[in-house]
Amino acid sequence: MTPKGVTLKSNSRKMKFARRFICTLLQMRKPRPVSLSIEEVRARGQRIKIAAYWSMAHAVGSRRAWSRALLFKLRNRARYQTIMRRRSPGLKTKRVIKNDTPGELSQTKKLRQLVPGGKTMDMCNLLEETAHYITCLATQVKVMQTLADNFSK
């Protein structure tokens, strides 16, 4: 009997994502301290989120523009954090969010901001990549829900 939401096809996107995600989580696993501060809980949640996105983009591969953009962003983020740790271990940088266009953004601009790599796509490709990205996010949610259900028992 298989858990709800998991298929038996070993080459399906869902299974590829699940395998990669579990392997990544196992690599992150450290002995848990007795009490976790709020900062440690946030950092752990951020690492899980990055692992989920990394696994999802790897499961899709380089066939999709959003997965290439997401992998590129995650690789650059890792390099940037390594450089910043070497330069100043105690100094944290603040991110400044700038709003280029005053007022409300159009729906297309909002969609371009949501889909990784969407800023460089034409409208037809943007809609196609958005549809694929949404199905992959839904798969990600199903796999993570199945894992949470199985480990909470």
Question: Which residue is associated with the tokens 């070497």?
Answer: 86
- The reply to whether 137 falls in a domain is yes
At residue 115 the predicted structure's pLDDT band, cuts being 50, 70 and 90, is very high
The answer to whether residue 35 sits within a structural domain is: no
Q: 88 in a domain, yes or no?
A: yes
Please state which of the ranges 10-19, 38-47, 53-62, 69-78 shows the lowest mean pLDDT.
Answer: 10-19
Domain presence at residue 91: yes
CB neighbour class for 147 (10 Å; exposed up to 12, middle 13-18, buried from 19): middle
Is 68 a domain residue? yes
List, in sequence order, the alpha helices (H) in 91-152.
Answer: 107-114, 123-152
Q: Quickly tell me which residue has 């199905």 as its tokens.
A: 135
In a domain, 129, yes or no: yes
Reported as a single tens digit per residue, the pLDDT across 62-103 is: 889 999 999 899 888 877 766 666 665 555 555 554 545 545
Where in the sequence is the domain holding 21, given as residue range(s)? 13-30+40-95+106-152
Looking at the domain assignment, is residue 5 inside a domain?
no
Give a yes or no: residue 4 inside a domain: no
To the nearest 10 degrees (0 to 180), the angle between helices 13-28 and 123-152 is 60
Q: State the total domains in the chain.
A: 1
